Chain A
Amino acid sequence: MSLWKRRLPLICTIVFGIMGFILQLVPAFKSFLDIQNQWMTILFGFAIVIGVASLTKYHFKKIRQKPEERIFSYITFSSLIVMAVATLFGMKAETGIFNALYKNLFDYVYVPLDATIFSLLAFYITSAAFRAFKASSWLSTLLLFAGGIVMLGRVAFGPLMVFGELTQWIMSVPTVAAMRGIKIGIGLGMMATSIKIILGIERSFLGGE
């Protein structure tokens, strides 16, 4: 077992996992909890560096191996560098070329791109609803009716208010019951996985095995 790739990360996971657990549970260690939080911030900083390094490595490899797709990698690189420089020098500045660049890139490139991607959802949902929302079995018919009532209930007024009341019931009774079941299941699964990781039983996060 290699020390740097497996043994050391495993020891760190076990030590810090158990330590984190104890720090949360024992009030006497509250001051250590603050130190741990400050360390976390520093570690997250390193994670960003690793992320950028990994992205750079991936795209350099892509440029070399897939010449027909290299244009996308060039766009990624140029976006990364321009936005990083503009943000570093322009975000906190009140005037100047970098501030203008940062403001314009954020307001007129990033915001519309992000909003456009999300707004496409409305069109996909419409098309999917038309083609896939079929009353083919009693379960799908139930889903269809519940969906229809909630859609009407969310925009209900006047004579449609009966759908509004039905929607409130659907959202606060059957939805809550189903979501609680799902969430309790997820919670138990997370607890079991966390314990397995802290005790070194689950090692897939180290890669291999």
Chain B
Amino acid sequence: MKKKWYDVILQIGKPYIYLGMFIVVVVPFLAKCEMQTYETDISKTMYEKIESIYKYNQKNADSEMAILFAFDYGPSTTPENDPMVYSVLRHIFLREIPLLVWAPYVPYLDIAETRLNRIAKEYKAIYGKDYVFLGLAYPVDAYMISTGSDFRPLFNTDYYGNDVYSIPLLSKYYSYDNLGLVVSITSTSMPLFWLQYANALFDQEISVGTTAVSAADFYPFVSSGQFQGMLAGLKGAAEYEQMVERLENKIINKDIKVYLSDLYRDIDTSQINKKYFEPKFGAEEIQVAINRRSQARRGMSSQFGAHIYVIILILFGNLGYYFKNKESNKTTVTKAR
């Protein structure tokens, strides 16, 4: 018996569906298609919050506020979380806001260290003066609570083994009193811990960047004002990327390739500690840094392909079921007669 068209649709094998998904994700990414996206209020709120810290620091030079940045994600979600990290760190370094960084689990440490130093290098940030990597904050709830008074006794040393009491930045910033914002970039439920321990107990303001699947969990806290904005999935990262790109063009005001090439050219690099990053940019590294500035927007083109593909599949699947049911109902009625 000849198969009906809807039977063919409903019997498409999984390997073909997977192959289709692979193609719609990989092709736009390899073709380096960039996609501009509209900017939502929740992303703008987070951007504005960091801008307000910058403005506060401008007016109050002796009581500047810092940002505590938590790398709350592991390797599984780097495609979604990395672009958020890059653009938020760029924003912080561009505005020269003092930065403290920690990670709650061992597998996150390596990710945190590489990303932090990579972006710090692009803005000539000095370790210990402009930023500090505190290292492992495990168990994180104890560290969150102790930041209410002083986190230094729990750390003893930073990630690189430097005594926390000898680091200039940490003589001023060691509790929520001097933190304008906590930024948690995550793929886990870590923002809820921040909410319970930092926000509820110490009134600390928090912003979150999270994967799209977790975002729905956190929307109630954004609308209640407990989170100062949120970057929801790759789209949130793309929005922030656009906003920071505009800011970077305004502040640096020259081609990024030229800016990075000239960054360490005419300065005495012997004064810079090479433990944290090599103070020079090669041609390949510059290209990677430029590509990284549009990483989320390139990812959005793959996401566009994937979403449209899933919608088409759902549509075809439902049409197939509808006509198959119609046909089987017709057959049942005919048989009954």
Contacts and interface: CB of A to CB of B under 8 A. Distances in A.
Interface of A: 24, 30, 33-34, 37-38, 40-41, 44, 87, 91-92, 94, 106-107, 110-112, 114-115, 117-118, 122-123, 125-127, 129-131, 133-136, 144, 147-148, 151-152, 154-157, 161, 164, 168, 171-172, 175-176, 179-180, 183
Q: Summarize B's interface: helix, strand, loop or mixed.
A: helix
Given A38-B153, A127-B17, A155 B142 contact: no
A127 B154 contact: no
Nearest to A47: B139
14 contacts: A33-B145, A41-B142, A111-B78, A118-B76, A118-B77, A122-B21, A126-B313, A130-B313, A134-B318, A135-B322, A155-B235, A168-B41, A171-B216, A171-B219
Contacts of A172: 219, 223
Interface in B125-164: 138-139, 141-143, 145-146, 148-150, 153-154, 160-161
A106 B310 CA distance: 33
Given A118-B76, A126-B21, A154-B233, A161 B311 contact: no
B40 A180 contact: no
Interface in B72-113: 74-79, 106-107, 109-110
A77 to B, nearest CB: 19
Q: Report, as a range, how many residues of chain B touch the other chain.
A: 35 or more
A106 B76 contact: no
Given A157-B38, A179-B219, A126 B311 contact: no
Given A30-B149, A115-B78, A155 B106 contact: no
Nearest to B318: A135
Contacts of A34: 146, 149-150, 153
Contacts of A114: 74-76, 107
A209 B98 CA distance: 54
Contacts of B219: 171-172, 175-176, 179
Nearest to A141: B318
A40 B75 contact: no
B225 interface: no
Contacts of A147: 314
A183 B36 CA distance: 34
Interface stretch (B61-69, B116-124, B298-306): B298-306
Contacts of B250: none
Interface string B199-239: 00100000000001001110110010000000011010000
B317 A130 contact: yes
Q: Summarize A's interface: helix, strand, loop or mixed.
A: helix
Given A41-B142, A135-B322, 19 more contacts: A34-B150, A37-B146, A41-B138, A41-B139, A41-B154, A114-B75, A114-B76, A117-B76, A118-B77, A126-B309, A127-B17, A129-B314, A154-B212, A154-B303, A157-B35, A168-B41, A171-B232, A179-B217, A179-B220
Nearest to A103: B110
Nearest to A144: B314
Nearest to B109: A91
B75 A129 contact: no
A148 B311 contact: yes
Contact of B306 (A122, A131, A135, A171): A122
A115 B76 contact: yes
A115 to B, nearest CB: 5
Contacts of B138: 41, 44
Nearest to B215: A171
A111 B310 contact: no
Given A30-B149, A122-B25, A151-B311, A157 B37 contact: yes
Chain B CB within 10 Å, residue with most, of A38, A118, A152, A168:
A118
Contacts of B246: none
A46 to B, nearest CB: 12
B172 interface: no
Chain A CB within 10 Å, residue with most, of B14, B150, B223, B314:
B314
A127 B310 CA distance: 9
A37 B145 contact: yes
A162 B17 CA distance: 29
Chain B CB within 10 Å, residue with most, of A38, A125, A155:
A155
A111 B114 CA distance: 14
A64 B308 CA distance: 52
B76 A92 contact: no
A144 B321 CA distance: 14
